Amino acid sequence: MSDLYFASSNAHKFEEVQRILSNLGVNITLFKTTLEEIQSDSLSKIAERKAIDAYTKVQKPVIVEDDGLFIDSLDGFPGPYSSYIYDTIGNKGIIRLLENIESRDAKFVAIIAYCSGDNDVQLFESSIPGKISSSIEKGGWGYDPIFIPAGESKTYANVPNKDRLSHRASSLKKFSDWFMHKH
Question: Which residues in the 121-180 window bind ligand IMP by CB under 6 A?
Answer: 141-144, 156, 166, 168
For ligand IMP, the closer CB: 53 or 67: 67
Separation between Cα atoms, residue 120 and residue 107, nearest integer Å? 28
The piece of 66-74, 94-102, 117-125, 129-137 that touches ligand IMP (CB under 6 A) is 66-74
Separation between Cα atoms, residue 142 and residue 90, nearest integer Å? 8
Backbone angles phi, psi at 142, to 5 degrees: 50, -130
For ligand IMP, the closer CB: 55 or 70: 70
Characterize 100-129 residue by residue with b for buried, 16 or more Cβ atoms within 10 angstroms of its Cβ, and e for exposed. Answer: eeeebebbbbbbbbbbbeeeebbbbbbebe
The piece of 23-31, 78-86, 112-120, 169-177 that touches ligand IMP (CB under 6 A) is 78-86
Site membership for ligand IMP, residue 53 (CB under 6 A): no
Name the site residues for ligand IMP (rule: CB under 6 A).
10, 66-67, 69, 82-83, 86, 141-144, 156, 166, 168
